[in-house]
Amino acid sequence: MKNIFEFKFTLALGPFQKDIEINSISSRLGIMGPSGCGKSSLARSLVGIDFFSEGEIKFKNLSYSKVKPWERNFAYLPQNLMLLPHLTVKENILFPKNSTLVDEVLNGFEINHLLKRMPRNLSGGEKQRVALSRALCSKSALLILDEPFSSLDIKSKESAIGFLNDYASKINLPMIVISHGEEELKALNCEIVSLDSSLKK
């Protein structure tokens, strides 16, 4: 069976570097590790925001190392969510190219009643559910989620994980999830990879 994910490159972390090598046949990859070990930098490198010094990123046997960020068709949910403050919830969801409102997603994350609101009028948990909805409505080939449930209470987290798990399975959507919570990754049926804290100069 061919690998879904093949990553072998060197991250630049300030004055230090970190070698990354991950190979997985699973379509769901969970990334764990201590703070500062490069988890978020790994996510940003995959979508092309951060650059790596050498190596290659392959997804489904295609190399993305030299593909422009806007041509990768990867949906990225960073920790800061990146909701546009001057747009309504509905406009934020529709902002990415090729996005459409998917009723099943809006209902699944329970945000139908928020569509006309501005981000400044949302709670932290509501913002996170809106950002998750935007990622799923973007018709991307891959989801990359960095701590996607950190602002949700226990009940909302369980509901969001359950819906994400079922919906991603339904549409056969691969994902990479970064989390400090091993139970979250297990609930999403991720193959878990732990990054250590080792760095080099």
Structure-model confidence comparison of residues 2 and 186, the more confident one:
186
Q: Which residues pair with 58 in a beta bridge?
A: 6, 63
Annotated domain spans of the chain:
5-194
CATH superfamily to which 5-194 belongs:
P-loop containing nucleotide triphosphate hydrolases (3.40.50.300)
37-65 pLDDT, tens digit per residue, is 889 999 999 999 987 777 899 999 999 98
Collapsed DSSP state (helix, strand, coil) of residue 95: coil
Q: Give CA–CA dist 197/131, Å, rounded.
A: 29
DSSP 124-181: HHHHHHHHHHHHHHT--SEEEEESTTTTS-HHHHHHHHHHHHHHHHHHT--EEEE-S-
Average confidence (pLDDT) over 20-47: 93
pLDDT for res 126: 97
pTM of the model: 0.93
pLDDT for res 152: 96
Question: Above 80 in pLDDT, residue 198?
Answer: no
